[in-house]
């Protein structure tokens, strides 16, 4: 059912994109630059399409400007991250996480990976290009972990309180394996929160220093 919905809203999408009220012409001219990276009108068109597909959103006159704004923000953020990981020569990422991101994107749309790839290709989007975008995020995450892992300080009392609360809901309090898994999950969640905080902070600093020009 969801596949039909996606094809339907993309048909509307192309109709809207051909309308002069949205864009008079997609001629692949440079529309903005993020640091040293140029962004073309075709880049923006593809990003809008990708945002719509991944969010399973039907584009209409009421939301087209909002989706366009999300696409522009996404392009800026990705290019800022790309600039930083290239400057620091970061090439490592977790392949399992990459596979998980792809599978999650497919499942959210109610289809398997092969059907997901076909939907992308049917609407002029490259699966390889999507993979490249996901790799940028994963390389960024690896970079943040390497830079800030020694600065992570956890609130022991808060973690113990969360563990205690979770254990109260555990039926078998003698199940040592389940107890250890709960402890591990909570600690990892707290570490992820800290890393996300450092990630946002690092990105905000870069955002202030990298020039974005709309042409």
Which of helix, strand or coil describes residue 34?
strand
Q: How far apart are CA 90 and CA 82, in angstroms?
A: 10
Q: Cα–Cα–Cα angle for 116, 107, 192, nearest 5°?
A: 115
Residue 6: the pLDDT is 47
Q: Return d(Cα 40, Cα 5) in angstroms, integer.
A: 29
Q: Could you tell me the pLDDT band of residue 177, with boundaries at 50, 70 and 90? A: confident
Report how many domains make up the chain.
1
Q: Residue 172 — very low, low, confident or very high, per pLDDT cuts 50/70/90?
A: low
Distances (CA, A) of 56 to 27, 59, 149: 27, 9, 36
**Neighbour count for residue 77 (Cβ, 10 Å):** 17
Residue 173 has pLDDT above 90, yes or no: no
What confidence score (pLDDT) does residue 1 get? 43
**CATH code of the domain containing 199:** 1.10.4030.10
Element (H, E) at 30: strand 30-34
Average pLDDT of the residues in 98-111:
95
**What pLDDT does 26 receive?**
54
CB atoms within 10 A of CB 13: 22
Burial grade of 85 (CB within 10 A; 0-12, 13-18, 19 or more): buried
pLDDT, position 174: 72
Tell me which of 22 and 68 has the higher pLDDT.
68
* pLDDT higher than 70, residue 75: yes
Average pLDDT in the chain:
87
What is the domain extent for residue 173? Answer: 2-214
Task: pLDDT band for 138, please (50, 70, 90 cuts).
Answer: very high
In the DSSP assignment, the letter for residue 111 is S
pLDDT, position 175: 74
41-47 CB contacts, 8 Å cutoff, 24+ apart: 43/75, 44/68, 44/71, 44/72, 44/75, 45/17, 46/124, 46/125, 46/129, 47/71, 47/72, 47/74, 47/75
- Which range, of 109-118, 159-168, 187-196, averages the lowest pLDDT? 159-168
């Amino acid at each position: 059912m969801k596949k039909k919905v996606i094809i339907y809203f993309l048909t509307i999408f192309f109709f809207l994109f051909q309308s002069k009220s949205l864009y008079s012409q997609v001629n692949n001219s440079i529309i903005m630059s993020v640091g040293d990276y140029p962004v073309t009108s075709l880049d923006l068109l593809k990003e809008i399409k990708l945002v719509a597909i991944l969010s399973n959103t039907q584009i209409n006159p009421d939301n087209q400007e909002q989706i366009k704004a999300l696409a522009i923000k996404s392009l800026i953020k990705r290019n800022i991250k790309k600039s930083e990981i290239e400057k620091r020569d970061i090439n490592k990422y977790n392949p399992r996480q990459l596979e998980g991101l792809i599978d999650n994107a497919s499942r959210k749309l109610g289809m398997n990976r092969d059907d997901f790839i076909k939907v992308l290709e049917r609407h002029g989007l490259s699966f390889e290009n999507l993979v490249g975008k996901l790799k940028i995020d994963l390389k960024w995450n690896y970079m943040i972990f390497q830079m800030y892992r020694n600065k992570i300080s956890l609130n022991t009392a808060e973690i113990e309180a969360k563990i205690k609360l979770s254990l109260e809901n555990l039926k078998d309090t003698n199940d040592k394996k389940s107890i250890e898994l709960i402890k591990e999950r909570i600690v990892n969640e707290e570490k992820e929160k800290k890393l996300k905080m450092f990630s946002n902070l690092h990105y905000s600093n870069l955002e202030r220093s990298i020039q974005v020009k709309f042409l």
